[in-house]
């Protein structure tokens, strides 16, 4: 077998008994790296440490990974201006957080004969939030509902990083305020 030393140096082609002897001498494990190679490649390493480090790398990668979430906002065709502004504020918040937003307009009774009201409302909402997101799926009538999906311009990971920075800035500001309040009291 071809043997690789503990610091990555090539030891050469050695018999199995000699490789096991070297592993015992260095107090390390003999790990087969490439079984299909001719001759097979083995490495001297601390296998427990290797498994621990690879688990830590995987954990760190999962921590930085972002899950795409689809938030849903339901509207009615005859929505009050104040209610519209509130719902639009929620959509803006979701897009700033890097989430997709599914907007559903629910039609009831005679409203079903006027789908253009819902279409206009969705177009108005898309125009109002165009600096934060884009129309990922155009408005479609689906039975009693009309559905549109908005996607954020920035990725979830970017939004999470910005939120962490803002939170750290707020925390630093809060820690700095009591000291200023004490100095003004004197």
For the segment 81-113, what is each residue's pLDDT rounded down to a tens digit? 999 999 999 999 999 888 899 999 999 989 889
- Residue 157 pLDDT > 80: no
Alpha-carbon distance of 135 to 157, in angstroms, equals 20
Inform me whether the pLDDT recorded for 124 exceeds 50.
yes
The CATH number of the structural domain formed by 2-47 is 3.10.20.80
Ranges of CATH 3.10.20.80 domains, the chain = 2-47
Q: Is 98 left (phi over 0), alpha (psi -120 to 50) or beta?
A: left
Which residue(s) pair with 10 in the sheet? Answer: 4
> Which residues touch 39 (CB under 8 Å, ≥6 apart)?
1, 2, 13
Which residues, other chains included, contact 13 with Cβ-Cβ below 8 Å and sequence gap of 6+?
1, 2, 3, 39
CATH tag, 70-156: 3.30.110.10
Intervals of CATH 3.30.110.10 along the chain: 70-156
The per-residue pLDDT for 65 is 72
pTM: 0.57
């Amino acid at each position: 077998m071809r043997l690789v030393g503990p610091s990555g140096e090539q030891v050469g082609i050695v018999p199995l008994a000699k490789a096991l002897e070297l592993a015992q001498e260095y107090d390390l494990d003999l790990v087969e790296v490439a079984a299909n190679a001719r001759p097979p490649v083995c490495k001297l390493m601390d296998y427990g440490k290797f498994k621990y480090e690879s688990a830590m790398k995987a954990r760190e990668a999962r921590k930085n990974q972002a899950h795409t979430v689809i938030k849903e906002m339901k509207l009615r065709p005859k929505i009050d201006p104040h209610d519209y502004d509130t719902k639009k504020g929620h959509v803006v918040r979701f897009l700033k957080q890097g989430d997709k937003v599914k907007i559903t307009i629910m039609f009831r009774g005679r409203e079903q004969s006027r789908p253009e009201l819902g279409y206009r409302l969705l177009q108005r909402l898309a125009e109002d939030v165009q600096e934060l997101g884009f129309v990922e799926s155009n408005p479609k009538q689906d039975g009693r509902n009309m559905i549109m999906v908005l996607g954020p311009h920035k990725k979830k990971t970017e939004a999470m990083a910005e939120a962490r920075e803002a939170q750290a800035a707020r925390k630093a500001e809060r820690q700095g305020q009591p000291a200023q309040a004490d100095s003004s009291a004197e």
